[in-house]
Amino acid sequence: MAAKRKDSPQRAEQAEPFEGLYGKLEATVDKLEQGGLPLEQSIALYEEGMELAKRCQAILDSAEQRITKLRDSFNQPPPEEEEVETEAPAEVEEDD
C-alpha cells in the first residue's frame, strides 16, 4: 500500500481556492449545529472544521500580506520623484 503524502499548507491552499475551503467549513459547521451525531463523529467533524478554519486563515493572512505590500508600494514615491522634491526650485528673475 502506498504511503499517503501530506502536502504542505501552501501547496494545499493553491490546490483548493478559499471559496471551496470556506464552503466545506460552512457545511461542517452546519452538520455540527444540527446535532444528533455520535460523540466520535462530532469530534471528527470538529477536528476537520478546525483544520479547514486554519487553512482558510492562512489564505486570508497571505492575502492580507499581499495587499499590505501593494498598498505600501503605492504609498512610496518612485526614486525619481524623491530626487526632484528634494531639489530647491530655481528662482526666476522678472524683467520690468
Check whether 14 has a pLDDT greater than 70.
Answer: no
**pLDDT range class, residue 13, cuts 50, 70, 90:** very low
Asked if 15 and 7 touch (Cβ cutoff 8 Å), the reply is yes
Q: What share of the chain is helix, strand, coil (3-state, %, to 5)?
A: 70, 0, 30
Asked if 56 and 15 touch (Cβ cutoff 8 Å), the reply is no
- As a whole number, mean pLDDT of residues 75-92 equals 62
| List of residues 6+ apart from 18 with CB closer than 8 A | 56, 59, 60, 63
Check whether 10 has a pLDDT greater than 90.
Answer: no
